[in-house]
Amino acid sequence: MAAPFSAEQQKRFDEEMERYLARFPEGRKAAAILPGLHLVQDLVGWVPPEAMVQVAQKCQSTPERVREVATFYVMYFLQPKGKHVIDVCTNISCSLRGAEPLIEHLEKTLDVHMGETTKDGMFTLREFECLGACGNAPVLQVDSRFHMNMTLKKADQLVDDLRKQAAKKA
Amino acid sequence: MAERLLTKNWFQPNGRSLSFYKQNGGMESLKKVLQMKPADVTAEVKKSNLRGRGGAGFPTGMKWSFVPNVEGPKYLCINADESEPGTFKDRYIIEQDPHSLMEGIAIASWALGVHTCYIYIRGEYLEQAEILEKAIAECYEAGIFGKSVLDSGWALDVYVHRGAGAYICGEETALLNSLEGWKGWPRLKPPFPAVKGLFGAPTVVNNVETINTLPLIFRMGAEDYAKLGTDKSGGTKLISISGHVAKPGVYEIPMKTSYLDIIHKPEYGGGVPGGRKVKAVIPGGSSAPILAANELDVWAEFEALKAKDNMAGSGAIVVMDESTCMVRALWRVTKFYAEESCGQCTPCREGTPWMERILRKIEEGQGEPKDLTLLLSVVNSIAPYPPIGLGTTICALGDAAALPVHSYVAKFRHEFEQHINEHRCPFPHPFGILADEGVRA
């Protein structure tokens, strides 16, 4: 089985897992599965099956159980995603404040449908359930960071800024 | 405007720091509590008439008193899995006054004889989890958490535990399963968590706002706190208001405040933009039965709503103005429950997507007269109504999905029939004029 991590990532994974495992009593180390999966995703951008095996070993659990958990929660990506994930809330409060036109606009601008990743691999666009920022609707998150009181103009600006950032780094 | 008690520290520069919190009287309640016997602390909380702010409104002191006095570990879990659509008050507490929550955690842990507390926070609240981590670190450094809380000799560890995107994990037994590293499937009760909770040990699960209120109770005294509220529900509470109002946000209100006042008063919602009239209001999160415009002269608190077979829930108020299509609104609310059903119980797993499909069909102009009958038959198989609580599922998500369907159809039946008869949605702006205006500005 291919190694899921680089040597440096492996070191961080091992260290951070120790920190999480210490929080739970003996015989209950499986409680670190959710933090472990978050950690994997932070390190490699998604949750490859090989990493699930490692999480299972650390948590004294089985790859089957880790996979069951990973497939239940929507925040874990089971295949590679775009560099940035845009989650647009479309629940009731955001819809009452314009989530539908916002989504339509983003689909057109990025040339993708909901759930898809742009051809250049920059953005994954998703429809998301209530993000808990209804007082600043419509809202979206980029990589779990809030952007509130969105307008079509602000969405354009946001996409533009992220593209510029990426170009600078490249 | 009523005095701000819970929110007195909000929106201050440097308000998240422990030094700010202490300068404004913070941690004094904890010092007081550490001089009391744990059982007396619980007795005070009972006297305060504090009721859980997560949605069910269960008396907090009573919940605590169910924890058996046995040897071995016990746990406190803070429910920060704030996911009920329309609710965002706990996020404000974490962002604006995290150390009030920290002090509350220490107070509750002392009362319950707990040495380990987990704050289970929804995964999407990443920045908020970071704020909590920082507040916890400050508390360890100041000796408020750790091996000897304020030199009392009593140890307390506090950890943040992030969820990963599942509404169901706000249900307390699903939360416990998720924390243990399982998928978030609710447990059959009994046994209740107080007896057999996290890792099989006695556990109390309390909402963020509930715990955040404890420092206030011990600052002003349980009796005075109780007097602020109604006979059965003490204190003030936070409401989250959103949708078609001028000033959406979180406000601290006296219990005896009507929905009319919350929506229209300038210090709260500030009325409906564009001079439009209110058509309908979600009174306590999207799971609550909807209120029509002529039902709003009622206090936004547990007992007043219960008397009307409704619920104050998490205090999430969503306002829809007269330009809103109630079929579209119900379809969107139902789509949420279809998405979030955990899949454990058949009526909910199969019923919620079925209702969503019927509603979409009606909204898209393809509805037939028999569809309304079918919709009501499906919803009755999940949970008949009234009263609330007749659900056929392990947890209340079934009820939560059913209550909107029952109430929207009962109160706005003519709109559903109009869609079916005219084979179209008659509303030019189905989510309201504001939905199309603001975002294009």
Residue of chain A whose alpha carbon sits nearest to that of B86 = A134
ipTM, interface predicted TM-score of the complex? 0.97
Confirm if B407 and B290 have CB atoms less than 8 A apart: yes
Query: Does A93 contact chain B (CB < 8 Å)?
Result: yes
Cα distances (Å, whole numbers) of residue B269 to B17, B235, B379: 29, 21, 33
Residue-wise pLDDT for A55-83, tens only, equals 999 999 999 999 999 999 999 999 999 99
Residue A115 predicted with pLDDT over 80: yes
Closest of B135, B187, B125 to residue B161, by C-alpha: B125
Residue-wise pLDDT for B396-421, tens only, equals 999 999 999 999 999 999 999 999 99
User: Which domains, ranges and CATH numbers included, belong to chain A?
Assistant: 7-72 (1.10.10.1590), 84-169 (3.40.30.10)
Residue A170 predicted with pLDDT over 80: no
Tell me whether strands B75-80 and B116-121 are parallel, antiparallel or unpaired. Answer: parallel
d(CA B251, CA B75): 31
Task: Look at B181 and A132 and tell me if their CB atoms are within 8 Å.
Answer: no
Closest of A21, A26, A76, A81 to residue A51, by C-alpha: A76
Q: How far is B210 from chain A (nearest CA, A)?
A: 18
d(CA B378, CA B217): 45
Q: Which amino acid is at B331?
A: W
- What pLDDT is attached to residue B106? 98
Tokens of B328: 């579209």
Q: How far is A78 from chain B (nearest CA, A)?
A: 13
d(CA B407, CA B413): 9
Q: How far is A170 from chain B (nearest CA, A)?
A: 27
d(CA B125, CA B28): 29
Residue B336 has its nearest CB partner, among A33, A129, A131, at: A129
- What pLDDT is attached to residue B1? 53
Confirm if A134 and B318 have CB atoms less than 8 A apart: yes
Prior bond of A48 cis (ω within 30°) = no
Task: Look at B164 and A75 and tell me if their CB atoms are within 8 Å.
Answer: yes
| DSSP label of B389 | T
Confirm if B346 and B378 have CB atoms less than 8 A apart: no
- What pLDDT is attached to residue A13? 98
- What pLDDT is attached to residue A1? 65
User: Which domains, ranges and CATH numbers included, belong to chain B?
Assistant: 18-227 (3.40.50.11540), 236-321 (3.10.20.600), 326-440 (1.20.1440.230)
Task: Look at B181 and A34 and tell me if their CB atoms are within 8 Å.
Answer: yes
Task: Look at A135 and B439 and tell me if their CB atoms are within 8 Å.
Answer: no
Which residues of A, range 130-159, sit inside 8 Å of B by Cβ?
130-138, 141, 144-146, 150-153
d(CA B385, CA B368): 24
Angle between helices B326-340 and B413-422 (to 10 degrees): 100
From chain A, pick out residues whose CB is under 8 angstroms from the CB of B248: 93, 134-137
pTM (predicted TM-score) = 0.98
- Kindly state the average pLDDT of the residues A98-103: 97
d(CA B255, CA B229): 5
Q: What is the arrangement of strands in the sheet containing A84-89, beginning at the earlier edge strand?
A: A123-128, A84-89, A140-142, A145-147
- Which of B10, B83, B439, B440 would you mutate first to test chain A, the one with the most A CBs within 10 A? B439
- Alpha helix segments (H runs only) across chain A: 7-21, 33-44, 49-58, 63-72, 92-95, 99-110, 152-169
Return the beta strands (E) in B39-104 as ranges.
Answer: 75-80
Residue A169 predicted with pLDDT over 90: no
Q: How far is A162 from chain B (nearest CA, A)?
A: 19
Instruction: Give the number of A-B residue pairs with CB atoms closer than 8 Å.
Output: 185
From chain A, pick out residues whose CB is under 8 angstroms from the CB of B340: 129
- Ranges under pLDDT 50 in chain B: none
Closest of B199, B201, B175, B213 to residue B61, by C-alpha: B213
From chain A, pick out residues whose CB is under 8 angstroms from the CB of B87: 130, 132, 134
Residue of chain B whose alpha carbon sits nearest to that of A59 = B181
Residue of chain B whose alpha carbon sits nearest to that of A69 = B183
From chain A, pick out residues whose CB is under 8 angstroms from the CB of B250: 135
